[in-house]
Every structure is written in structure tokens, then in C-alpha cells.
Structure 1
Amino acid sequence: MRIPFGSVASLALCFTVSAFAAEPFDDKFRQLEEVLPTPNTYRTASGAPGHAYWQQRADYTIRATLDEAKREIAGSGTITYHNQSPDTLGYLWVQLDQNIYKPDSDARRMATAPSRQAWARTAGEDTMKFEGLRGILARGDFQGGFNIRALKGADGQPLKYVVNRTMMRIDLPQPLKPGQDFVFQIDWDYRINEQKVLGGRAGYEVFDDKNALFEVAQWFPRMAAYYDAAGWQHKQFLGSGEFTLEFGDYDVQLTVPADHIVASTGQLQNPQDVLSSAQRERLEKARSSDKPVVIVTQKEAEAAEKTVSRAQKTWHFKAANVRDFAWASSRKFIWDAQGYKKGGSDVMAMSFYPKEGNPLWEKYSTQAIVHTIEQYNKYSIAYPYPTAISVNGPVGGMEYPMISFNGPRPVKDKKTGELTYSKRTKYGLIGVIIHEVGHNYYPMIINSDERQWTWMDEGLNTFVQYLAQQAWEENYPASRGEPREIVDYMRSRDQVPIMTNSESLLQFGNNAYAKPAAGLNILRETILGRELFDYAFKEYAQRWKFKRPTPADFFRTMEDASGTDLDWFWRGWFYTTDPVDISIDGISEYGVSSKDPATEKAWKKAQKEAQPESVTSRANKGMPRRVDAHPELKDFYNQHDDFTVTNKDRNAYAEALANLEPWEKDLLKQGKHLYLVDLSNVGGMVMPLILEIELKSGKKYVERVPAEVWRYSPKKITKVVITDEPMVGLVQDPYWETADIDTSNNSWPRKITPSRLELFKSEKSPKDNLMRDFHTPLKGKNGGSAKGDEA
């Protein structure tokens, strides 16, 4: 199609208006202020803490004993609660998370089985693993939960308290005013769960040699969070929503069997009491080593496995400014360590694992810790703690300040009996260590409310994990972070918005881990670019380290520090389940008219000749014509067609040229090609356009268009594309960087979607003919009646 120069803009506007005038306007770019909380002196509109920001604090002094034989922990502690809020408090709330193991806990009573439809899809019949049934039965018998033996004030007088499932309210003798502290003492005990039977984020494991390994967490009454945006965080612990806690200093003494090695949050205060001189020398050597140094050797661990000591030792640890405390204990532990000192970090990376973890753990664990700190420091803050620990035990992956529990192990080769590991196990170990050690940053330091918003720690951490994995090796087999990996979930009906409470998520891993990570990847690579994104993301970490951010603080900081309005992105990606599906619906070509009759009439003639011949014309070929039999009937019009250039045409052209400015004449000579590209937003989530344009010469280039192209019409738009030569192909999102759920409509002309058809031979099941089965006796091996034998 040819159009007069100067009318392209008006034509394009006409196309755009007609596209959205038929439906009510849905403003995808309206601001989030109607959703986000109003800024105040605690949390500013920029996303930074306000000048009146405050948070509570709790310090702990704890003495605890592990009874290996009884699988119990008994402890006593003094908690100093600092009221740094502007509020007067009449009571305190304490978390009793071990109460999830009580027989009448909410988590047990509300447990449901998968739907029968889900069973049918996965197994074709009603099935359950032996382990599943064992766990259900064991949960009914296990008498877990905290036994509060005593609760007293600093004066030794008993305090009134009420236990509400996994929460405990302490009624204060006097209101606690702003700036005041309250000190109380508490004694407790509880039975430790067998992790592989009862599950959970902690527990013990028993090996074939009868020795046990303990990973201990949620093991003491912990102060619930009280903060400006929510008041007391009193959501019950149901299993999915994790923990939000107050920072404080810990002084902890752990009494365990004398032949145990203890890994713990904090720094060991008495190595001379619990380690041999050789082990202390190795530990000192590790501080300046460029590779892991073995502190407790496999030979030493194997010797300890063979004899069980009845004596006890007390390990003393201190930790400053942490929000929790966890530890692990076993006589089976091998221990290696390596120092890392760079920038603001001076840390001992350490791994604790049984011999069953080798050869995998000795090769990769501590190296993965060092790599994590090195990479996370680049994107957030300098790791501030003195230790970072990875423990191999029954828990598949769980994080606490300075320590994480990680599961993957080698397996025995059935032929040789040697321990070996698969590719999946290797990268599973590296990945889980990066992830769990990375949790030191999110949420152990950047202290979001996990009980409410899982994505704020899991999603952000999974994103940085993805970046760290890319720095481990080329083509690292990451399963989360790439936008294309979230496509199947974005197509599913099991979606709920990311901004959904932790306990209400349907697909926990996809919703809280993978989708936020993929979204942040899109934000970094496609929307903002790495420079703007990395600066803003790091600013968020710097602003909120050792503080408690909310989703609004993250959203606002990313916009504030990048200088970009991203409300459309937060709204679509986090508050809805709209997928990305942008379709190229059609393309119209508009060459600019040169006004030269010779050129323009030749173009029109070529266009007509390119049209297919009609069926009538084809059928009439060779038909006798009168003018052929009587040539005298032919005249001027038989010698010239509609595309003949006349003097009238030439005169009109000359007159038109005379009226043009010089720059207008130059523009006509350029011979630009204009295309109107019709696009529709099928999925609902607006995104930038990434248009790969292919020209007739074979040249390809990408034109990037901001998401604001959808601001007037969020469902259908027409984009003008101008090229120097004819365009022969167009692809939207050629690198699949926006998680588009249907790439079959991303190309023009359309491309065939390749797949494979799996053929199989049908076999009739005995259930297909119940009448036949009723009358046909079962046959034994020799053809006789099987009677009681099973077929």
C-alpha cells in the first residue's frame, strides 16, 4: 500500500483508537497508592526507613542439655525484652513453634489429603507411599511440643501466662513503657522429632551404625515480633509460613555427649575445653587458607562412631545482633573450614558432615559457602557475621543465622558398593547451599516478615541464588530464575497472586520462589537494565539491613533508586495472575509515495501483476476474441494501459516538486518502508516489546519498545515500524525473556510449532470387561485354577 507522505501518524492513531474504543479502558499504569500503605515517619514514600523508625530487641542467655538417649532437650534461659517502640505494652507474645508437634495442634487437625482427582492424574489409582502412611501414624503417637516448667520475673515471682497453640501470652505485672526493659526467666523441655518420619525444619536422624545426628532449631521460646506495620505478629505456626523475629545478642551454653562435635550460630568461646590441640591448630590454619582445611578428620569421626561416651562437654557460643539461634550435634561429624576476608567480610566458612556425605561434601560444601558470600556481597551487603556454616543432616534445606541444614548425599552403587553421586545430586547440593547460606542476607539480616510474605525472603533469595549460580560455571543447570522456566506455572489454574499470605499458596515453590525470581530477572534484563537494577536492588539491602522491610518498602525503593515508575509491573506480576502473552496479529506495509509517476505507476502495475489470476481468466485462455479477428477495432486505449505515464502526469509531478522544500525532496528520495504492526495483549500482563526485525537482505536487528506503549490501550495496539529496505519477518520476544506463555503467536509470518507425537500400543485392562472377568477363572502357572494364588 502507498500513502502520501505526512499522513502516517494520523493513520496509525486511527488504528490505535479503533483498537481500544470498543471496550472499557483498563488502566494498567495506574499508581499503586490505592493499594500500598500510606507513608509515614516510620516508612517513607521513597521506601527508606523514616526518621522515627523503630524496632524491638530481645537478648537471650540460655543453658541447654541434649539427652541423646531420650531424644530430648531441656533448657533454661533469661530473656531481656527491650521496648523500643513508642507504645506502652500490657503483655508480650512468645512463639512456641515446637507446639506444632502436639497431638492437637492446628497443623495436625487441619491436614488434608491430596484430592482424588490429583491422585488419579499422578498414579491412575489411589496410592500412598509407605513413608507417607508411616508419617501420618507417627504424628498421631508423637507427644511433642514445649513443656513450660517455670516462668518467672527477674524478682523470682511466677508470671501469669496463657498458651494459645503455638503462641504464649505473658501478662506483665506492670505496663512496659517506651524505653523500658523487661527481664524474665523460663525453663522448658521437649522431645525432638525424628525428621525423616515426622518432617519439619529440624530434628534427628539415626544411621545404620545406630549413631544419631541432631539438627536443632525452634528449640527455645522465642519473642514474637512487634512492629509498626502489623503490631504483634501472632499468626499461628502452621508449617508453611516461617518466622519473623527480633534481633538480639545470644549467650548460649550447650551440654552434649563428650564425643559430639557441635556446629552453631555464633562464635565458639571455649575451644580449649572441647577441641584437641591438633584441632585448634587446624582451625587457626584454616583462617588464612585458600582452600578448605579439615579440622576433624574422617578417621577421627569414625573412631568416635565406634564408642559412645557417657561423659558430657559444654560448648559455649556467643552471637551478636542475630534474630535466631540454631545448632547441630553429632559424634559422626567431619569438619572442614576456610577463611574468607575481603571488603567488609571476615568470616570462617565451615562444613559439618558425616562420612556418608563424602566424597561429595568434602569437595563442594565449603567452596559453595565461600562462593555464596563472594557473590551475594556484590548484590546486597558485606556479610557481617564471623561464621557461615553448612551442615549435612536429615533436613533437606533450612536456614538460620550463620548456619544452614542441607540434605543431598551420595548413594551406594549397587554393583560396587562405593558412594557415588549423580549430576542432579551434585548441583542439588551446590544449589541448596548457595540458597540456604544466601538466606543469611534475606531474611536473617534484611529481616522481612516470613510468616506473612514468603516471597520477600524466598523470592529475592532465589533470584540472587540464580545470579550466583551463573557465576559458578557456564551453563549451570538452574531450575529457577529464567523467565522461560515459569511458563508452565503461568499457564496453570493453580496460580494465586504472589501477594498472598504464605499459608494460602497453592504451588509454594512456583509462587514464592520461582515466579518472583523470574520477575526480578525480567526487571533486571528487560525493563530496567543491569546498571539501574543492580544499584536499586543493592540500595534496598543497604537501607534495610538489620531492619524489617515490608513489600511496599521494596517496591518503593526499587522505583526511588532506579528513577523509574514500576507500579504497572508490581501490579501485574505481584498482585494478579495475568500471564504474558503478546500476539502479532497482522502487518500492513506502507511504502512512502515518491510522487514520480514513472515510479508509482510501475509499483501499482507490479502489485496488480502479483495478484493471482482469477479462475474465470484461467478458464478463458485461448478463447477467440473479436478484436483479434478484427484488428481495426483496436485504438489508443488498446496500446496503453492504466499504468502508462502521460504528459499530464509528468506536469503534475513537476508542479508538486516545485512546491516542496529541499528537505522534503530529500526525504522522498530515502525510500523508507513503513509497516503498521497490529499487536494484542492476550494474557493481560503488559510488557515491553522486543521486536526482532528481519530485512530482505538477511539483516536482523532488535528494536526495544517500553511497556508504556500499552498505556492508552492495554489490549490492542498498532506499532509503526520504519525500515530502510523491505521487511520479510518479525518476531516478538525472540529470546523468550518475558515468560510469554504462547510463542506460537510471536512470529509473522507464523511458524510451525515443532513437537513429538508419542505412539503407543493400546492394551485392554482387565477392568475393561467386568462381565468377562466375573466368568473367567484365574489361571495358575501351569494353566490350572489359581484358587488362592494371586495372578
Structure 2
Amino acid sequence: MRAGLWIGVALLASGAAQAAGYDPRTTFAPLNLPGPINPVRSGSGQPGPQWWQNRADYQIHATLDTKAHALSGDEAIHYTNNSPDMLDVLWLQLDQNMYRPYSRSHAADGAAPRKGSGSTDGYTIEAVEIEQGGKRVAVQTVESDTRLQIRLPAPLAAKGGQVTVHVRYRFTIPTAFGGRMAWGPVKGGEIYDLAQWYPRMAVYDDVRGWDTLPYLAQEFYLEYGDFDYWVTVPSTMIVAGSGALQNPDEVLTARERSRLAQAAASDKTVKIVAPTEIGRERAAIGTKTWHYRMENTRDVAFSASDAFAWDAARINLPNGKTSLAMSYYPAESAGTQAWDRSTQYVKDTVENMSRRWYSYPWPAAINIAGPASGMEYPGIVFDGITDKDKPLFWITAHEIGHSWFPMIVGFDERRDAWMDEGFNTFIDIFESEDFNRGEFAPKRDSEFAPGGGNPVDEILPILADPNAPPILSRADTVIEKYRHPVTYFKSALGLVLLREQILGPDRFDPAFRRFIALWAFKHPKPSDFFRFMESETGEDLSWWWRGWYLTNSTYDVAVTKIAPAANGGTLVTVENRDPMVMPVTLRVDYADGSHEDIRLPAETWIRQTASDITIAPGKRVVAATLDPDHKLPDRDRSNNRLAVQ
């Protein structure tokens, strides 16, 4: 989801630092991670030898009614139960029901029940049938807020049992108040950004069985599978959807097909429909049905409009593979520093992140300028009609970056939004640094540090705020005041510190890449990540997980004394004063103008709060400084340096 270009850390109460003191026995105590170790999830953080995951394949036929602003659909979900458990019920997610006046989502917001512009009737489920053993029968269902339980006529067998669920449904499309999907007018017509547009299988996993958290506007947790979907719209409309278009001869003009073929072989952006060509060559009567297919994905979304300009360019992937970067936008979004550059941004982001982390797996990456601004789905993202300049680049890179987290690595965004948003904010830092030799860098000065300062200083009010939640809080409990500072900023900065200050890129980067590869199209939990990074990098990081993720702790180190040593050298006394601990650099300045940097590991304070560092004889020490390059979130930097008087 859109990170927001100004996190608003300055709005947090700075308050007094929470200096609870440092106790080595607490900081370095054995850490029992919340996730289990078993044959499904190993102690090394990898999928275990008995890993299983259920699967949901979809065929969906939908019709968009632009007069009623409604969508109707008929879907078939082919569900495979790979679990060791026999299932007597299935659960579907009905996200549209969050828009009902008395939904749990409205209650969680503290909002009064609303009818009309602030709500819809949610899903109308017209029929639910089960096809099992060659027979198709109606089944009993129980609807509960944003969930639908299906009671099976016969239990679904474990370890490979299959059933097909048929659902016929309809709903009114919310306007912009819906946030993650919407429709709205533009100068040339209307744009419909359609997501959460079909009932979706809930996840059945080894941790909780059916994971049926109600949809309170946190994001998603979904099974993987293959999708075929057909969308019928007025003939004047263009449909941009997740995956690959299967019937271009039926829905595209000859000129559009020719230009699209040109774009598939071009590193430069090719106009498929120029802004001046919007609406030409398309019949004003009747309908057309667009067929898209996407494989090995957890979701699909689409956008439809009679006002789209459209351009595209080839994406070059590792191992000689290619994909297609595409942008769809209304005429008013065009401009040399606006949406004319969107496809360039998409192409570069996918190519760069594929080189750095894991190759992009899908046939297209699409950016839409529409009413549902700043939202991501597999293969397609929705951004703002008026976005331009740096904000357009930053939001494009961020939303496309979600292809890796949580679309490839299937984090549970409903519970652990910090893994989704924080991991993605971390990787899009590199895209800002790399794009066009840093044209829009540094990302940290905008995303991390709204005041334009050092991000490790900008985090200090969060760490000092006694009401700020730990990162490992249930996502639904994090109030808006802390959502960006904790879920995006603190989570991403934690990875920056882990990479640059604790492990180093030479250990972090290969481990992070392997984590992505091992968990691609699977469902890792926080404990899997923590265990994997420890095992793969060869480092006990329990003190770091406790200080940064499981608690909201402050950090303060100090140089307290410089004195002669018995061997003729010098003793520099350093202290750790707050609950959190990190490796730190001690810089010793000598009278001859030179200096020496000594790296102090976290274990410097594993048995004591203060430690004497012996400096060899031969040079006269004139000063000592901890964290001289200002890389750590030290709440009191006034005690970091001590000079000999």
C-alpha cells in the first residue's frame, strides 16, 4: 500500500527517553520465538521436510455494469487440500462486506454506521454450489461479516482431496471512499479500479488451521494458484488486468496489436494508445469480453476505462527472460515529468529488483492512474491520477516493489503488516539510489526522514514514546498515528541496521536472497525469518529481535572514562545504558592527528553494563567517540564523545 511520502514522525510526542537501564541478563536472555519448530517449519527457518500448502485455482466470469456501477460474477474455485487434516467446512473471504454500515471494520474505526455515500450493501451471494465426485449440489452456508463458511456435504479428504466451489455473486462498486478499489470520473470518461472483486479462499495452514481474521482494512492472506478470468465491459473500454491477455485478436484493434508487438521488443516506451487517440477506433455499441490468465499467483485485479492512454516497453529479466512494463492513464495525467515516464519507472524497478533479489515471475507489470491511489496487487498497481515528479517515481517503485513482498513471498498482511510494508520499503530504497544514477535519491530523506534529516534520528521519538507499539503487534491494533512510523519506517530501518551495522552486506544480501527463493509462493511467518537469518548468517540475533521487534526499546551508549592502562597504553571505558544493544564503532583520536576505529560487537556488554577497551601503547589518546559516523539510533549523542582535558 502507498507508504505516504511524509511519514509524520514529527507528529509523535517526543517525550522523555524511556531509559529503563541496561540489564545484560534481560537483553541476552534465551528467546523463545512465537512460531513453532516442527516438520513443516524447520529450526533453520526453511520450509520443513513435510511442508504442505493448500491450493486454489480460479475461473471467473464477470460483467461490469457501468450504469449501475456494479459488478456481477460467476466463479469456480478448484480447491486442493494438501493438509494432513480432513476438512468438513471451507471458508471464503468476502472483503466487500467491510463496506456495510454495521461491519466490524466500521466498528474498529469507531465510526458511526453509515448508509449511502459511505457504504454499500457488500456482496450479494446468489448461489453457492459444490462440485465433488462429479456431482454439483447446493450447500449450506453461514455468512459472518467478511467471512462465509461453506458446510460440505461430505468431508474433503486430506493429502490431495479436491473440490470445486461455484459461487454466483454481485456487488455495488464503492467510490473513492473504498480506498483499495474504487471508480471515478475523469475528463474522458470513467475509470474502474477493481480489486477484492470475487469471493476468495481463506488460508488453511499449519499454524492456525483456517485463518479467518475479519477484514478490518488490513491487507491480505491468500492461497496460490492459477487464474483464468473473463471480464465483459462496454466496447468503448480498455481492460488492464493481472497476467497475460489471452484474446488480443478479439478485443484490440489492429493498430494496438501492432504497437504492442513493437513494445514487447523495445527498451524504449512505445505508445499503444496516445492521449490524443483516446476513444478512437472503438465501437460505441455492444460489449467485449477480455480474457486474462495469470499463473502461480495469490490474487488478480483489473482496471477498466473508456479514457485510457496506454504505453508499454520490454522488461529484461535474468537468464534472458522478458516481461512487459505497461502504464494506463487518462489524458490529464500525461506529461514529460508525469505519467509519460511511468513505464520507464516500472521497467527499471522490475529489472533492478530482479537483479538484486529474485527474478520477476509474471508476464506483465502494470501501473494504473486511477481513483484507487497507492494500492498493489500481483502484476498490477493503482496509483494517483495527479502523481508526477519525484512522488510518482517513489510511489511507483514502492507499489511495484510489493511484487516481491507479499506477492512472491506470501506474508500474512492481515497479522504481520510490518513484513509486507517494511520489507518492501527496505528494498525500494535501493531502487531510488540506482535509478538513472540517483535522479530521485536518496529515498530515505523523504520516506524515512520527513524532516530531511538522518533516519536514525527520526526514529528516536518512536523509540522514546511509551505508547508506540512493538513491531510484532497484531496489525489491526496499530492505530493510524503509529501505522506508518512503526509498520513502514521502523520495520524498514531495522533491516537497514541489520544489513549495514550488524551483519554487513556480504552476509545479509546472500541470506536475504535465499530467504526469498526458499519462501517464494509460500507463507513464511516472522519466526521463520528470524530463524533463517540467524542460521544462514551464522549469528545469534536474539538480542536484536528482542530489542527492535518484540519490544519498543531505546538505545544509548556512552564513553565515560579515558585513563592510563597498566601496560602503558590507555583504557577507554564504554557503557551501554538502555535496554537495546547493537555493535558500535569506537573511534580513538591520537595526538598526531590520526585515528583508529575499533569495532565493538554486541557481546561487549553480554556480562556487564560497562567495558574497558585497551588501547596499545605508543600513541597518546586525546579523544574517544562511539558511533562517529552517526549510523545508530542513539537517544543521547552528547555522551558519545569524551576528550582528554
TM-score by length of 1: 0.74
> 1:73 is matched with which residue: 60, 64, 71?
71
Could you list the per-position Cα deviations for residues 764-788 of structure 1 after superposition, in whole angstroms to 9, with x for gaps in the alignment?
xxxxxxxxxxxxxxxxxxxxxxxxx
Is contact 1:555–1:570 with CA below 8 Å preserved after alignment? yes
Letter in 1 for 2:626: Q
Change beyond 3 A, Cα 1:24–1:398:
closer
Separation in structure 2 between the aligned mates of residue 536 and residue 347 of structure 1, nearest angstrom: 26
Letter in 1 for 2:307: K
Helix, strand or coil for the counterpart of 2:354? helix
Q: 2:155 aligns to what?
A: 175
Separation in structure 1 between the aligned mates of residue 503 and residue 165 of structure 2, nearest angstrom: 50
Q: 1:193 aligns to what?
A: 174
Change beyond 3 A, Cα 1:279–1:487:
same
> 1:207 is matched with which residue: 180, 186, 191?
186
Pairwise CA distance, 1:302: 5.8
Separation in structure 1 between the aligned mates of residue 624 and residue 110 of structure 2, nearest angstrom: 50
Letter in 2 for 1:40: N
Pairwise CA distance, 1:386: 0.8
Pairwise CA distance, 1:461: 1.0
Q: 1:37 aligns to what?
A: 35
Pairwise CA distance, 1:65: 0.6
Pairwise CA distance, 1:447: 0.6
The answer to which structure has the higher strand fraction is 2
The structure number with the bigger radius of gyration is 1
Pairwise CA distance, 1:24: 6.8
Separation in structure 2 between the aligned mates of residue 750 and residue 389 of structure 1, nearest angstrom: 61
Is contact 1:43–1:553 with CA below 8 Å preserved after alignment? yes
> 1:295 is matched with which residue: 254, 261, 272?
272
Letter in 1 for 2:100: K
Q: 1:747 aligns to what?
A: 641
Pairwise CA distance, 1:700: 2.8
Change beyond 3 A, Cα 1:730–1:408:
farther
Q: 1:724 aligns to what?
A: 618
Letter in 1 for 2:99: Y
Is contact 1:588–1:676 with CA below 8 Å preserved after alignment? yes
Separation in structure 2 between the aligned mates of residue 257 and residue 361 of structure 1, nearest angstrom: 28
Change beyond 3 A, Cα 1:341–1:265:
same
Letter in 2 for 1:335: W
Separation in structure 1 between the aligned mates of residue 117 and residue 239 of structure 2, nearest angstrom: 31
Pairwise CA distance, 1:31: 3.1
> 2:539 is matched with which residue: 564, 569, 593?
564
Separation in structure 1 between the aligned mates of residue 136 and residue 566 of structure 2, nearest angstrom: 93
Is contact 2:30–2:542 with CA below 8 Å preserved after alignment? yes
Q: 2:426 aligns to what?
A: 463
Separation in structure 1 between the aligned mates of residue 635 and residue 599 of structure 2, nearest angstrom: 20
Separation in structure 2 between the aligned mates of residue 535 and residue 142 of structure 1, nearest angstrom: 47
1:387 aligns with 2:367: no
> 2:105 is matched with which residue: 93, 107, 114?
107
Change beyond 3 A, Cα 1:109–1:28:
closer
After superposition, the CA RMSD in angstroms is: 2.2
Separation in structure 2 between the aligned mates of residue 579 and residue 52 of structure 1, nearest angstrom: 40
Change beyond 3 A, Cα 1:285–1:145:
same
Helix, strand or coil for the counterpart of 1:63? strand
Is contact 1:379–1:537 with CA below 8 Å preserved after alignment? no
Q: 2:516 aligns to what?
A: 541
Equivalent residues, number = 607
Is contact 1:408–1:429 with CA below 8 Å preserved after alignment? no
Helix, strand or coil for the counterpart of 1:92? strand
Is contact 2:239–2:290 with CA below 8 Å preserved after alignment? yes
Letter in 1 for 2:29: R
Is contact 2:62–2:230 with CA below 8 Å preserved after alignment? yes
Could you list the per-position Cα deviations for residues 226-261 of structure 1 after superposition, in whole angstroms to 9, with x for gaps in the alignment?
11012111110011x211000111111100111111
Q: 1:53 aligns to what?
A: 51
Letter in 1 for 2:355: K
Equivalent residues in 2 for 1:103-502 (5 A)? 103-112=101-110, 142-154=119-131, 155-178=135-158, 179-195=160-176, 198-208=177-187, 211-239=189-217, 241-301=218-278, 303=280, 309-344=284-319, 345-359=321-335, 360-407=337-384, 409=386, 425-472=388-435, 473-474=437-438, 475-478=441-444, 479-480=446-447, 482-502=455-475
Separation in structure 1 between the aligned mates of residue 129 and residue 310 of structure 2, nearest angstrom: 39
Is contact 1:484–1:737 with CA below 8 Å preserved after alignment? no
Separation in structure 2 between the aligned mates of residue 511 and residue 577 of structure 1, nearest angstrom: 10
Separation in structure 1 between the aligned mates of residue 586 and residue 366 of structure 2, nearest angstrom: 47
> 2:576 is matched with which residue: 680, 685, 697?
680
Pairwise CA distance, 1:408: 5.7
Helix, strand or coil for the counterpart of 1:103? coil
Helix, strand or coil for the counterpart of 1:27? helix
Change beyond 3 A, Cα 1:175–1:385:
same
Letter in 2 for 1:108: H
- By relative contact order (CA 8 Å, sep 6+), the higher-ranking structure is 2
Pairwise CA distance, 1:364: 2.5
Letter in 1 for 2:464: R
1:82 aligns with 2:61: no
Helix, strand or coil for the counterpart of 1:731? strand
Equivalent residues in 2 for 1:660-739 (5 A)? 673-681=569-577, 683-713=578-608, 715-722=609-616, 724-739=618-633
Separation in structure 1 between the aligned mates of residue 589 and residue 34 of structure 2, nearest angstrom: 43
Letter in 1 for 2:636: D
Helix, strand or coil for the counterpart of 1:170? strand
Bigger Cα displacement from structure 2, 503-512 vs 475-484: 475-484
Pairwise CA distance, 1:723: 5.7
Bigger Cα displacement from structure 2, 446-455 vs 137-146: 137-146
Equivalent residues in 2 for 1:628-639 (5 A)? none
Is contact 1:95–1:222 with CA below 8 Å preserved after alignment? yes
Q: 1:128 aligns to what?
A: none
Change beyond 3 A, Cα 1:319–1:45:
same
Pairwise CA distance, 1:539: 1.0
Separation in structure 2 between the aligned mates of residue 163 and residue 573 of structure 1, nearest angstrom: 40
Could you list the per-position Cα deviations for residues 405-461 of structure 1 after superposition, in whole angstroms to 9, with x for gaps in the alignment?
112625xxxxxxxxxxxxxx5222111111111111111111111111111111111
Q: Tell me, which stretches of 5 or more residues in structure 1 are unaligned?
A: 1-21, 114-134, 411-424, 594-671, 752-791
Could you list the per-position Cα deviations for residues 163-221 of structure 1 after superposition, in whole angstroms to 9, with x for gaps in the alignment?
000000000000001111111211100001111xx232011122355x21110000100
Is contact 1:692–1:732 with CA below 8 Å preserved after alignment? yes
Separation in structure 2 between the aligned mates of residue 588 and residue 692 of structure 1, nearest angstrom: 13
Q: Tell me, which stretches of 5 or more residues in structure 2 are unaligned?
A: 1-20, 449-454
Change beyond 3 A, Cα 1:247–1:281:
same
Separation in structure 2 between the aligned mates of residue 276 and residue 408 of structure 1, nearest angstrom: 26
Letter in 2 for 1:526: Q
Separation in structure 2 between the aligned mates of residue 712 and residue 398 of structure 1, nearest angstrom: 47
Could you list the per-position Cα deviations for residues 19-67 of structure 1 after superposition, in whole angstroms to 9, with x for gaps in the alignment?
xxx99753322332x2333311101111111111000001111110111
Q: How many percent identity over aligned positions?
A: 35
